[in-house]
Amino acid sequence: MLQKLVIKNYAIIDHLVIEPDGHLNTVTGETGAGKSIILGALSLILGERADTSVLINKEEKSVVEGYFDVSKNEVFKKALADAELDYDAQCIIRREIAVNGKSRAFINDTPVTLNLLNKLTSLLVDLHQQFGHLALEDDRFQMEAIDAIGGSATAADNYRVLYYKHKSIKQKLADNRERQSLWQKEADYKQYLHDELALADFKPEEIEHAELQLKQMSHAERIINVLQAGRVMLEEGEQPLVNELKRLSQQLQSIIDVMPDLKPIQERVNSVWLELKDITDELGVEESKVMLDPAIMDELQQRLDLGYKLLKKHGARTTAELLELKTKLEEELKATLDINDAIERLAKEEGVLYKELIADAAKLSAQRKKTAPGFTNKINELLALVGMPNARFQVRFEETLPTTHGTDSVQFMLDANKSGQFQQLQKAASGGEMSRIMLCIKSLTAEALHMPTLIFDEVDTGISGEAARQVGMLLRDLSGYHQVICITHQPQVAARGSRHFYVYKEEDKNARLSTRIKVLQKDERVLAIARMIGGEQPSEAAINNARELCS
């Protein structure tokens, strides 16, 4: 709900504050007083473009601020969260136009783009100007109106939940099929690579071991000579070192009783003897390992050649990397099988959900088509009351593929002059007629549909008398559910307002005309409406008529 509108330095408005109530606010005033200028300023905080021509004082910026109570507007609260903007129960929308022509927009003091401003404020204000009824071109609004009248809004919400669930499953299925298609192209090659590695059947570090073993075998004779020479020197020569050390140890042992200080030396010599004896044994073991078998060498060479080939092919450096690649290929091939299972499962789930979706859509469509005749009759009755007796309203359905709203496409049609030729509303009706048609539709859906502040600009253009009275009554009834602001020239409409604003021009101290606005008290209101009936100097009859209208 709009709590306050503040306009500074805009066109012929130097400073203006408007504080509407939560019901029907009527705005009157002489032609040219500035009513449309106020709407122009309001449109700035709704995201419209602007330029410096609106500045009165070229040395100061123009500012328009709207204060909105959004405490009960859950849709707007969610939209703020989606836009990552701070929420407050009172939302302040501000638009500034600098002297250099640059424009800035703010929501709760946070700068926003015009596109975001327009998107968010559309949830706060619905501005109905001549030729500006975009809602009637929106298939969603028309569907919501039918659902509101027919009591199928809950069923539509339930269908929408199912629709998005089906859409999510369908997207997952498409993603999996796309991955399957990509993987399938590579699956055969991956299987070949895996089979090649599996057939090679390398053990951990086998290539490295084979490389070392083959190198040892190719130098077997030199290795054996070195090992044998070492063993002979230590144990089998004319004076084997091991035997000599043992003899020395024994001799030292024999004199320890007369020279005790030699005991540590004797123990060290004995330790060296034991160590060299172990070395001699290990040299013999290593010598026995050295082989010179051409068959084994040939086998090792073949394994090594295969290993080098696979290392080069896969850009690997070690056996471990080849084994890691083999494991990775196994996992990818398994994933291919897993995705096939997932696709089968998702396809079944999607099929079940689609059947449920079509069944729900059919029920929803039937309910809407059942509602349409009664809705059509009510709209036609209201059109006759608001000055369109020759107009015929019609709801037309076309079957579509499932969308967020079902399998229906809904169009509101109009035959403005009993011609038998129905056209879409926006093509068949004039601006004033569009305003009244929208008023009729919204008056029927007011209780069921959440709507923002509704602003009607001269909805009563081209009508008078009883038609104007009916428009006033519809606006009053509509304001029982939503805040309504209506600019009007009809006394029958102005008299229905719960708060009456009067727009006028006044000279300032510089003899410059500026737009002013005030809330009319009871007697002021009667006089203003009497002047709408009987001119600047209303008769007693006009005053009595105005008093009766306001009662």
- In this prediction, residues 189-212 reach a mean pLDDT of 86
- What pLDDT is attached to residue 136? 56
- In this prediction, residues 463-472 reach a mean pLDDT of 87
Instruction: Select from 154, 151, 146 the least CA-distant residue to 372.
Output: 146
| 202: three-class secondary structure by DSSP | coil
- Reported as a pLDDT band with limits 50, 70 and 90, residue 138 is low
Question: Which strands make up the sheet holding 2-10, listed edge to edge?
Answer: 13-18, 2-10, 62-69, 90-97, 103-107, 110-112
Tokens 């699956």 found at? 187
Tokens 């539709």 found at? 441
The rounded percent of the chain whose pLDDT value lies above 70 is: 96
Is the Cβ–Cβ distance between 380 and 393 less than 8 Å? yes
Torsion sign across C-alpha atoms 304, 309, 315, 321: negative
Query: 1-124+497-519 has which fold?
Result: Rossmann fold (3.40.50)
Amino acid letter for position 245:
L
Highest mean pLDDT: which of 52-61, 172-181, 348-357? 348-357
Tens digits of residue pLDDT in 70-116: 998 888 999 999 999 989 999 999 999 888 878 899 999 999 999 99
Structure tokens at 93: 């929308």
Secondary structure letter of residue 160 according to DSSP = H
Tens digits of residue pLDDT in 202-221: 899 888 888 887 777 777 67
* pLDDT of 427 strictly over 60: yes
Task: To the nearest 10°, report the CA torsion of 266, 267, 268, 273.
Answer: 90
- Reported as a pLDDT band with limits 50, 70 and 90, residue 170 is very high
Distances (CA, A) of 3 to 89, 125, 163, 456: 12, 12, 38, 17
Return d(Cα 403, Cα 405) in angstroms, integer.
Answer: 5
- What pLDDT is attached to residue 508? 72
Tens digits of residue pLDDT in 337-393: 677 888 888 999 999 999 999 999 999 999 999 999 999 999 999 998 888 888 999
Return d(Cα 453, Cα 66) in angstroms, integer.
Answer: 12
* pLDDT of 430 strictly over 80: no
- For residue 536, the tally of other CB atoms under 10 A from its CB is 6
- What pLDDT is attached to residue 132? 42
- Reported as a pLDDT band with limits 50, 70 and 90, residue 128 is low
Across 40-44, 55-59, 485-489, least confident range: 55-59
- What pLDDT is attached to residue 349? 93
- What pLDDT is attached to residue 442? 85
**Looking at the DSSP assignment, which residues form a beta bridge with residue 412?**
395
Across 208-217, 220-229, 317-326, 433-442, least confident range: 220-229
Strand positions, DSSP E, 252-366 = none
Is the Cβ–Cβ distance between 81 and 13 less than 8 Å? no
- In this prediction, residues 529-535 reach a mean pLDDT of 89
Tens digits of residue pLDDT in 266-303: 889 888 888 888 888 888 787 777 777 778 778 888 88
Around 12, how many Cα atoms within 13 Å sit in the side-chain half-sphere? 19
What's the mean per-residue pLDDT of the chain?
86
* pLDDT of 195 strictly over 50: yes
Buried b (16+ CB within 10 A) or exposed e, 234-252: bbeeeebebeebbebbeeb
Return d(Cα 549, Cα 551) in angstroms, integer.
Answer: 6
- What pLDDT is attached to residue 278? 87
Secondary structure letter of residue 134 according to DSSP = G
Tens digits of residue pLDDT in 380-401: 999 988 888 889 999 999 999 9
Return d(Cα 534, Cα 540) in angstroms, integer.
Answer: 9
- What pLDDT is attached to residue 134? 47
Tokens 């709009």 found at? 2
- In this prediction, residues 325-333 reach a mean pLDDT of 84
Tens digits of residue pLDDT in 474-483: 999 988 888 9
Choice between 162 and 11, residue whose per-residue pLDDT is larger: 162
Is the Cβ–Cβ distance between 29 and 76 less than 8 Å? no
- What pLDDT is attached to residue 130? 40
Distances (CA, A) of 85 to 76, 79, 80, 82, 110: 11, 9, 5, 8, 8
Give me Rg for the CA atoms of the chain. 47
Torsion sign across C-alpha atoms 205, 207, 213, 215: negative
End-to-end CA distance of the chain: 26
Is the Cβ–Cβ distance between 442 and 421 less than 8 Å? no
- In this prediction, residues 515-532 reach a mean pLDDT of 91
- What pTM was estimated for this model as a whole? 0.66
The DSSP string of 224-265 is HHHHHHHHIIIIISSS-HHHHHHHHHHHHHHHTTT-GGGHHH
Return d(Cα 304, Cα 42) in angstroms, integer.
Answer: 84
* pLDDT of 431 strictly over 80: no
Beta-strand relationship, 103-107 and 90-97: antiparallel
